[in-house]
Amino acid sequence: MKLKVGVIGATGYAGAELVRLLLMHPYAKMSAISSVSYKGQSLSQIYPGMTDLCDDILNDEQYVLDNSDVVFASLPHGLSEEIALKCYENNKLFIDLGADFRLFDEEEYKLWYGSEYKQKKLHKNAVYSIPELNRNELKGAKIIANPGCYPTSASLAIVPALKAGIIDYSNIIIDSKSGVSGAGRGLTLETHFPECNEAFAPYKTATHRHTPEIEQTLSKYADKKVVITFVPHLLPINRGILTTAYTSLVNNIKIEEIIGLYKDFYANEKFVRIMNNGQTANVKYVRYSNYCNISLHKDERTGRLIIISAIDNMVKGAAGQAIQNMNIAMNIEQDAGLCYIPPSI
């Protein structure tokens, strides 16, 4: 029997990507979808690519809760806690693609998001999960905080070096570039075509809300407080994130050893691919897939290790990772519904 899965917020980019991937899942059946803005319309009216594939009518949130075993929510921060509570009380798995359960420290959440936790006890039962780093915590989970796209790309890139103690935890600079879809489907001046086409610029410099999330994960593996410099940029492409992390090596380890260390760290992880010496990660070769490609580069002159990761922000950075988390939590093969091979051109 297939799992009945529902998506709240199905008309946003991440929500629509969830539907696209879940329609191809061998063990899941789309049971309900919702949207506040487009309630009463079919998803295929909003996204014509879904014609004859998902002509389901967009209902309200309660309809999704009543008709699903697993509930995904793709909503702005501040809207997921009450939904999570209803799922928890009714023994349904809840996976949040928003920010409400990502930060362990409520004071950090207040600082970066400007609001308090409404269901404080519920946060103790939530599991934050980049699957390659948090797999063992997913067993029996009922509330899963799906990581942000930038934290996914940065954490997968940096954690192995940090855990091995080969880089200086106090000197990490992260430079990330994201496709425009990362800003969501809502219209803004910055994502208006004439503004972002043929343009390339940073935004929210040193103030992006994913900063504390990255620091939270890196601190866990460094076993000490890690403070980073993080600057995101907007690329004039639809999808993809390329993260370049600049770190300082603490000893004169050879690049071949570093690559070997990374390959060992991710030896059993299907979706993280460590590139050979001389290769460079590129967003082109992870598009539409749940893969993260990582390349490693040593600057012999300065003693810096430069780590580059590439993901599709809509898949590994959002919907694909959410499904990977569901698969593991529900004891399904982690790659179910995610076996998409990136196109070559």
- Phi first, then psi: give them for residue 95, nearest 5 degrees: -120, 115
With a cut of 80, say whether residue 24 has pLDDT above it.
yes
- For the chain, what percent of residues have pLDDT higher than 90? 93
* pLDDT tens sequence across 161-219: 999 999 999 999 999 999 999 888 886 888 888 888 898 999 999 999 999 999 999 99
Per-residue burial over 168-205, b if 16 or more Cβ lie within 10 Å, else e, is ebeebebbbbbbbbbbeeeeeeebeeeebeeeeeeeee
How far, in Å, CA of 96 to CA of 77, rounded? Answer: 10
- Summarize pLDDT for 239-273 with one digit per residue, the tens: 999 999 999 999 999 999 999 999 999 999 999 99
Scan for tokens 């800003």, then name that residue.
183
- Enter the tokens of residue 165: 């103690």
Specify the length of the chain in residues: 345
Residue-wise pLDDT tens digits, 54-88? 999 999 999 999 999 999 999 999 999 999 999 99
Identify which of 90, 85, 98 has the alpha carbon closest to the alpha carbon of residue 66. Answer: 90
Contact 71, 46 (CB under 8 A): no
Which are the catalytic amino acids?
149
Domains observed in the chain: 3-147+316-329 (3.40.50.720), 150-313 (3.30.360.10)
Per-residue pLDDT, 96: 98
At residue 107, the 3 state secondary structure works out as helix
